[in-house]
Structure 1
Amino acid sequence: MWVQITGAVPYVQRHLPTGGAELHWPLGGQPQLLGPLTRPRVEVIPAGTTLLGVRFHPGVPTLVPGGVADLLDRGVSLDELGHRWVDRIGEAITAAATPRTALLVLQNFLLHRARTAGTDPLVREAVRLLMPWAPRDVGAVANRLGLSVSQFRRRCLWAVGTGPKSLQRTLRFQGFLALAQAGAVATGRRGADGMAGLAVDVGYADQAHLSREVRRLTGLTPSELLGGEFDRCSCGHDHTASYAPFLAGRRWPASV
């Protein structure tokens, strides 16, 4: 979760695939749910906007009854979803003394809602197995879950909005982005350091493979995405809330 405040001029925001949906709630404006992305989505945020942001982990129940497949690569106003609580929570957010307090109001409500809805344990385990730190074949993951590949694909489409292979590609990209934003150093595999090392660490065959996938998912090269620096994000934003939970389950492989 985060607070984004634009300055005196509009801000061009490039939303990137994360594997999950996002809730964007501008103070004084209409909240919108952005479905899972398979490609970049560019939005111009007006000047003087204070935006509350929430990113849902892949497979976590969102605010859409019946799954998120219909929201793939598009956004929808919460009003269109018919939720009765939107006005009530909106009033509490507006009455909050600071944006941080408003974010806590939204956070507490969503946590309560998530506990009530529950999470499919099979999907939660599938997402864990598809993380980039220990690359696995989709068929092997399906077998580990006790499902056929077709059953696994249907379950993933319903809960996440994409098939398992597409989700795995997105998580691998997010793994690279998290390492870069955190200023991580490659694990020291022979002949693989710098950007090439980070690429290998998250499961890309080589740096060229990384470049192709990053351009497909973001519309930019890795250097363009990171502002010219492979080992840090130079846009000036604090991305800790994004990459810290993602890196929490990382296991460092042995050097070779």
Structure 2
Amino acid sequence: MAGQTYTERPPAPRLAALVTTTWVQRIPPGTPAYPQRHLPTGGVELRCVVGYEPRVAGALTGPHVELLAPGTTVVGLRFRPGAAAAVLGRPVADLTEVVVDAADLWGTAAAAAGERVAAATTDEAAVAALEDLVAAAAVRTGATAPEPLIAEATRRLMPWRGAEVRAVGTELYVSERGFRRHCLAGVGIAPKALQRILRFQGFLARTQAAMATGTEPSGDGLARLAVDTGYADQAHLTRECVRLTGVTPRVFLRGAADTCACGHDHSASYAPLLRAAGLAGSFKNAAGGAPSLTA
């Protein structure tokens, strides 16, 4: 995997309320094909393989492995939970677990964005092409942020909040059935699935912070991180990790450490999670050189 890189950056300020992160991933020519393990994040993604038109990937509920050929460069961005529905001006439940051509949603504007990505001479210009596509779509639908109910529900379902799904719906003055309907339309997945995904993302962020301070996330360390993130115990974490990644935590983290050490930067995804959990200082250490732990 030498030379294979993945670098995240925050979105342009104009899209910060709709997009969590942007990225550029490169698989150098002459290297083996790279098995990219896409994990559930709660967000819809817009991805563009350089030389092709952009595609939209709906929210995942489990892992999906995509083999990236040598010489491939992928430019992408990830929407906040609920933001894609606002930008598209339509429910996204039919996008769950599927990938569609962006042209099916945005017509010739998507093809033009793909051409701009291919012609870009810098990472910034390539990312800007996708950001402009999203910004134009947001203007057409009047989207400035996810639906308030979804945004607040996402905040309350974060792992450090420890809220019960049913209680969150009650606190937001929506019935259990209505809460589920809102989440399926806005995010593409049910509230309980969203909570599972957010909790696992929180676990990965805490693992990154632990690794950055020299703590090995195994044995008692892994058990402690599991409880700190909201899992009942390490066995609970293991079950959820297998559900969301396809492998056990130890296997996943070992593989992620091996691949991410070659040049992955996931700081844009994990910084907000760590700050919200009160671990901003740990993140500063992580951003200073320790490999991030998502593949």
Indicate the TM-score class for this superposition, using the shorter chain for normalisation: 0.7 to 0.9
Residue 98 of structure 1: how far off its partner (Å): 1.7
The alignment status of 1:117 with 2:143, answered yes or no, reads yes
Instruction: Look up the match of 1:138.
Output: 165
For 1:30 and 1:10, how far apart are their aligned partners in 2? 21
Residue 99 of structure 1: how far off its partner (Å): 2.7
Residue 45 of structure 1: how far off its partner (Å): 0.9
Aligned partner letter, 1:70: D
Instruction: Look up the match of 1:97.
Output: 121
1:27 corresponds, among 39, 42, 50, to 50
Residues 103-136 of structure 1: per-residue CA shift (max 9 Å, x gap): 1332344345446323211110010001101111
1:156 corresponds, among 183, 197, 213, to 183
Instruction: Look up the match of 1:56.
Output: 79
Residue 161 of structure 1: how far off its partner (Å): 0.7
Greater relative contact order (CA < 8 Å, ≥ 6 in sequence)? 2
Aligned partner letter, 2:143: A
- Matching of residues 1-256 of structure 1 within 5 Å: 1-7=22-28, 8=30, 9-62=32-85, 64-111=88-135, 113-114=137-138, 116-118=142-144, 119-183=146-210, 193-227=220-254, 233-235=257-259, 236=261, 237-251=264-278
Let me know the Cα RMSD of the aligned residues: 2.2
Q: Is the 8 A contact 1:2 1:241 kept in 2?
A: no
For 1:163 and 1:106, how far apart are their aligned partners in 2? 28
SS in 2 for 1:94: helix
Q: Which runs of 5+ in 1 are unaligned?
A: 187-191
Residue 223 of structure 1: how far off its partner (Å): 1.0
Q: Is the 8 A contact 2:39 2:63 kept in 1?
A: yes
The verdict on how the C-alpha distance between 1:215 and 1:99 changes in structure 2, with shifts beyond 3 A counting, is same
The verdict on how the C-alpha distance between 1:181 and 1:113 changes in structure 2, with shifts beyond 3 A counting, is farther
For 2:62 and 2:108, how far apart are their aligned partners in 1? 31
Q: Is the 8 A contact 1:227 1:233 kept in 2?
A: yes
Residue 172 of structure 1: how far off its partner (Å): 0.6
Residue 204 of structure 1: how far off its partner (Å): 0.3
SS in 2 for 1:47: coil
Residues 3-58 of structure 1: per-residue CA shift (max 9 Å, x gap): 00002231111111111111110111132111111111011111101110211111
Sequence identity, in percent? Answer: 47
Aligned residue pairs total: 244
Residue 198 of structure 1: how far off its partner (Å): 0.9
For 1:185 and 1:28, how far apart are their aligned partners in 2? 37
Residue 79 of structure 1: how far off its partner (Å): 2.4
For 1:105 and 1:142, how far apart are their aligned partners in 2? 38
Aligned partner letter, 1:96: A
Q: Is the 8 A contact 1:181 1:233 kept in 2?
A: no
Q: Is the 8 A contact 2:60 2:96 kept in 1?
A: yes
For 1:109 and 1:82, how far apart are their aligned partners in 2? 9
Residue 147 of structure 1: how far off its partner (Å): 0.9
Q: Is the 8 A contact 1:180 1:233 kept in 2?
A: no
TM-score, structure 2 as length reference: 0.76
Instruction: Look up the match of 1:189.
Output: none
For 1:90 and 1:146, how far apart are their aligned partners in 2? 42
Q: Which runs of 5+ in 2 are unaligned?
A: 1-21, 214-218, 280-295
For 2:212 and 2:73, how far apart are their aligned partners in 1? 34
